[in-house]
Chain A
Amino acid sequence: MLPKFSYVRATSLDEAVRLLSSDDGARVCAGGSDLLGCLRDQVFECSRVVSLTGIDGLRGIARTRDGGVRIGALTTIADVAADPTINQSYPGLAQAAGELASPQLRNQGTIGGNICQKPRCWYYRGDFDCLRKGGTTCHAVAGESEFHCILGGAGCFVVHPSDTAPALVALQATVRIAGRRGTRSVPMEEFYVLPNQDVRRETVLEPHEIVTEIVLPRPAAGMRSSYHKVRARGAWDFALAGVALALQFSGNRVTAGRVVLSGAAPTPWRSREAEEAIIGKQLDAATAAAAGRAAMEDAVPLRRNGYKIPLFQGVIEEALLAIGRA
């Protein structure tokens, strides 16, 4: 059952920022598909729900002047997945959006909500003492850790749940943020916070701040992108292991680009090891396998997620071979 809270539908960004600033227990609500679950499970306190759906201009996909694309924070995942420009210029993002959750959730959930969603760790969401909730322990360490991280964990071992975020990091997107002190832009790569920086938050957002849009730069010549995801069932499920690629090719040689993992770490995880293993190379079987191994070099599994190492090697290999053929 949901606890008691007040609900306000803001009609302007300023009003929303004001509503967030004046109540410590205020939370932003976009599609509500993640927030309501958190409230029902009492993951955190919330006294005021500030809905963004009454604010004009936060929805839609448009070309930017320099040939990139701007996606309003309230654009639904389904719209991102279906958008012709995104499918053409940033297929990795369209694939990530199209593979995520279920049709209902894609219709309801927004891209802003997707990159700001809370971790899905069952200890965090359940009725357990948990570091990220202000408790004293991380139960994943000695517990049921099959869905937890193998990279970037420290004290807390959640994985970041978003499928779109790794694609956006790979595509070098920027997040536009509005808050009490005006607006700012943060590269997606710097948007997330690792547990060793602050175990209580996932992003750099202040409580009074709102993501207004995501900006994708114009794709470089020879850019290919893709998203591969392995999950425990065919739909309605997060990544066990995923990989977002945005690679620049010259002929069939990779000249630059990013390899970003989902399901690996508490944030979308850029694997510079894998990038190093492929840049300057053709994506043949040996290179792809070497990149998979390189990406897992520093991985430290918990008790139940050792499978992620061969699984990531497999999915990275698969994704690289596929994009090399594309």
Chain B
Amino acid sequence: MRKEPGSRYYVEGIEVPETPEPRSEQEQWTQTEYVGKPRPRVDAYERVSGSAVYPSDTYLPRMLYGAILRCPHPHAVVKGVDTSEAEKMPGVRTVISAFTPDDRATQPHSELIHTTLFSTRCRYEGETVAAVAAETPYQAWDAVRAIQVDYDVLPFVSDERRALDPDAPKVHDEGNQVAPTDTYERGDVAQGFAEADVVLEEIYRAECEIHTPMELHGCVAKWDGDSLTVWESTQGVYNIQAGLAGALGLPLSKVRVVGHYMGGGFGSKLQAGKYTIIAALLAKKAARPVKLTLTREETYLAVGNRPASNMRLKAGVKQDGTLTALEYVGSGASGGYQAGGTSLLDWLVRDLYTCPNVRTELTNIYVNAGPARPMRGPGHPQCAWALDQMMDALAEAIGMDPVELRLKNVPTVSQARGGSPYTTTGLKQCLEEGAAAFRWKETRAAIAREGNTNHLRRGVGMAGGLWAGGAGGPPSTVIIKLFSDGSVNLNMGASDIGTGTKTVMAMVAAEELSVDPDAIQIEHADTGTTQFATASGGSKTVPTEAPAVRAAALDVKRQLLDLAAGEMGVEASGLTLKDGKVVSIDDPSQEREITALRSLRRRRSITGVGYRGPNPQGKAVNPFAAQFCEVEVNTRTGEVKILRFLAAHDSGRVMNRLTYQNQVFGGITMGIGLAMTEARVLDGDQTGKMVNKNWHDYKLPTALDVPADMTCVPIELEDPEANSVGAKGLGEPATIPTAAAVANAVYHATGVRITNTPITPMRLAQALADARKGE
């Protein structure tokens, strides 16, 4: 049984309390004062000035520094660890390994595989072997280097395409296939291909990418008797709390995790790392706070990746553009342990375009390399790389415009969910309005007219997309306090992972309470003091938290109007809030300053509680997208210049025009990384070690790789059914179609189709030379 998409991130079907009464008073906003307007971030000054305190900026009195010894081999048995030299070194306070007592905590790698904290059989380069805490980071690293490890180096396999060969070394003794191949089927593909006028087949591959957030993974751990506080760079403090409590056998209540600011995660900071637990153990043993920040190199090896994906796609289409069949075989690299090597890798094939006959197969494979983790839209950008390049090829084969072909196949229901209707689907509008704003037809006509025979060739490309998550859902609890001076305190557990969550939530509360967002102080991401929230991931933070914030604000508003009604001698239902005043709806001359309400002054505060209500029954809530780009290719050198990008997104209501645009431009930038520059390189034929584990050799796109001309076209459909604010997720959809759009534009410019990411000058210069030879 395959899990429902997005179930990693939140829980469906649980009982949730609701305030106010389900859906009462929660009409969709029609006119807004704050929501939807472009508003700079509430913490912009702190972030830009450097005064924001991130976990990596946290220094506690008497704090020690931790460092981890990691296995340098992709596959090895640890026969012994000699820490005697290290223990004697200056400044060293404690050393732990698999061979020291009391350090046998286990850590969940996934629901099914628990591993010990320190491995005696290391299945990837970078597994933890021992750890040190010392007075300075330099002393800690000197001590790590002084630890002697006796390794029995084993044969390894790094390429998932070879890992299922009978003679391939075994990552796990049971074999290298993580689980039986997962299949999905609807209709009859053989029949579908028989009905097609054109059938095409192609093999695609997306290379492994690393998340590389700006802030390194790490934490500071401090004990207070038997209770533990951890400051961690994380997407979800409650996930870290659960990971720590589980591994250390502590009650949840004794573990406090704080994560106010964090410098990016992209899916790699959804859970507690081994390093988190190691920091806590070192701190316990040394009886001192310990800071453990990984090095950049460690983060390349051991804290997740977007797995390499292999995709074979066969597609059938009729001359009129009707898709008749899609057959898709995918495989991916789980890494050394069970992880989502193929998670959601077929979702777009199943759900994006109307097709009655679909068959997919996914095989998740162990290799001796770091385990995968969700990365911004797991499975989707890779699947789009295959599917939307295929759509382009089909369009060409039947002589149809690529946008037309997609428009011909826009579904109104979620085919992969047995035909559940979408609350809203803006795919058609994304395609149409995006193409119009991009001047798609005109640009294609102009390129055709000019002949494109120079060595600098222009091309345009596009791709569609949807994200299997993006609905959000319970549980989430938010508390809002209104003070007697009219200022407001918003308390929520959610992390702001750089997307502007705090700003959006302040705008939501401000909207209902009619106060300036700047009057709202936000307390968040602290398991000790803020309310339960799921991790910020899966593009669900706005659709999960904003309705809970709105509900809490409405709860405050109801109580406040009740108080005012008594004092003003008016029915509460006839009152509303406006600019810090309670105003009669019928007679605006009847008004009272909130600060003038006697009963509020006596009470000092009003507290409102909001819960996230359930999602609509039997309906799918998903965001949709279409992206368009124009490139110029130098056919002598294979250099690609992306001239412009346009992204049309249906993510429901735009909550803040600025942070919306940030997500879209950031998503495009990351997609350009997949398309053009990024790939993990393993020395697979010799040592199995990663050769490009730094920011120079692993090439992230720079400002010069991203066009200055980027346009964001929100398709704002009203979606009252989705949730009480009508917003859907945006962060992940923004990066899903990007790489495929680039590949299609390069093809349009050159007639050369690059099916393996990234499209570097290396790959393209060779492909263009091969094409010239073939001419």
Contact = CB atoms under 8 A, between A and B. Distances in A.
B689 A311 contact: no
A139 B766 contact: no
Interface string A123-147: 1001110000000000100111010
Contact of B636 (A120, A144, A318): A318
Contacts, number: 106
A311 B687 contact: no
Name the prevailing secondary structure of the A interface residues: loop
Contacts of A119: none
B15 interface: no
B140 to A, nearest CB: 8
A102 B696 CA distance: 11
B689 A314 contact: no
B691 A310 contact: no
B395 interface: no
Contact of A128 (B681, B689, B704, B763): B689
Contacts of B696: 120, 236-237
A235 interface: yes
| Size category of the binding interface on chain B | 35 or more
A240 interface: yes
Contacts of B702: 102, 233-236
Nearest to B697: A122
Contact of B634 (A120, A240, A318): A318
Nearest to A314: B636
Q: Which residue among B636, B683, B687, B700 has the maximum number of chain A CB atoms within 10 Å of its CB?
A: B636
Interface string B683-701: 1011101011100110111
Interface string A1-19: 1101000000000000000
Nearest to A236: B702
B380 to A, nearest CB: 24
A45 to B, nearest CB: 14
Nearest to A147: B697
A2 B689 CA distance: 22
B746 to A, nearest CB: 15
A204 B271 CA distance: 53
Interface string A191-205: 000000000000000
Contacts of B634: 314, 318
Contact of A233 (B138, B686, B705): B705
Given A123-B691, A232-B677, A307 B699 contact: no
B639 A310 contact: no
B218 interface: no
A310 B683 contact: no
A145 to B, nearest CB: 10
Nearest to B758: A232
A78 B295 CA distance: 30
A232 B638 contact: no
B762 interface: yes
A126 B689 CA distance: 10
Interface in B624-653: 634-639
Contact of A310 (B295, B677, B687, B766): B766
Given A122-B691, A122-B692, A146 B636 contact: no
B141 interface: yes
Given A143-B686, A317-B636, A318-B634, A311 B761 contact: yes
A230 interface: yes
Nearest to B678: A233
Contacts of A122: 681, 691-692, 697
A306 interface: yes
Given A1-B141, A232-B762, A311 B637 contact: yes
B703 interface: yes
A310 B765 contact: yes
| Size category of the binding interface on chain A | 35 or more
Interface string B737-775: 000000000000000000000001111011011000000
A259 interface: no
B769 A139 contact: no
A156 to B, nearest CB: 16
A234 B693 CA distance: 20
Q: Which residue among A233, A234, A241 has the maximum number of chain B CB atoms within 10 Å of its CB?
A: A233
Contacts of B677: 232-233
A300 B130 CA distance: 44
B681 A144 contact: yes
B636 A240 contact: no
A219 B295 CA distance: 48
B210 interface: no
A315 interface: yes
B762 A307 contact: yes
B761 A232 contact: yes
Contacts of B687: 128, 139
A85 to B, nearest CB: 27
B704 A234 contact: yes
Interface string B661-691: 0000000000000001100011101110101
B699 A237 contact: yes
A235 B703 contact: yes
A314 B638 CA distance: 9
Q: Which residue among B634, B639, B692, B705 has the maximum number of chain A CB atoms within 10 Å of its CB?
A: B639
Interface string A214-254: 00000000000000001111111100110000000000000
Interface string A303-315: 0011101110111
Given A126-B691, A230-B637, A1 B138 contact: yes
Contacts of B137: 1
Given A1-B138, A143-B683, A232-B762, A310 B768 contact: yes
B72 interface: yes
Nearest to A123: B691
Nearest to B767: A307
A318 B761 CA distance: 15
A122 B703 CA distance: 24
Contacts of B697: 122
Contacts of A231: 761
A120 B637 CA distance: 22
Given A142-B685, A232-B677, A314-B638, A307 B701 contact: no
Given A1-B141, A236-B696, A127 B638 contact: no
A127 B72 contact: yes
Nearest to B138: A1
Interface string A236-277: 110011000000000000000000000000000000000000
Given A128-B683, A128-B689, A317-B636, 18 more contacts: A120-B696, A139-B686, A139-B687, A142-B685, A146-B681, A230-B638, A231-B761, A233-B699, A234-B702, A234-B704, A307-B763, A307-B765, A307-B766, A310-B768, A313-B636, A314-B635, A314-B637, A314-B765
29 contacts: A2-B138, A122-B681, A122-B691, A123-B683, A123-B691, A127-B689, A128-B687, A139-B683, A146-B681, A230-B637, A230-B639, A232-B677, A233-B677, A233-B702, A233-B704, A234-B704, A235-B702, A235-B703, A235-B705, A237-B699, A307-B769, A309-B769, A310-B765, A314-B636, A314-B638, A315-B637, A317-B636, A318-B455, A318-B637
Interface of B: 72, 137-138, 141-142, 295, 455, 634-639, 676-677, 681-683, 685-687, 689, 691-693, 696-697, 699-705, 760-763, 765-766, 768-769
Pick the 5 closest A-B CB pairs, nearest first: A234-B704, A314-B636, A310-B769, A1-B141, A307-B766
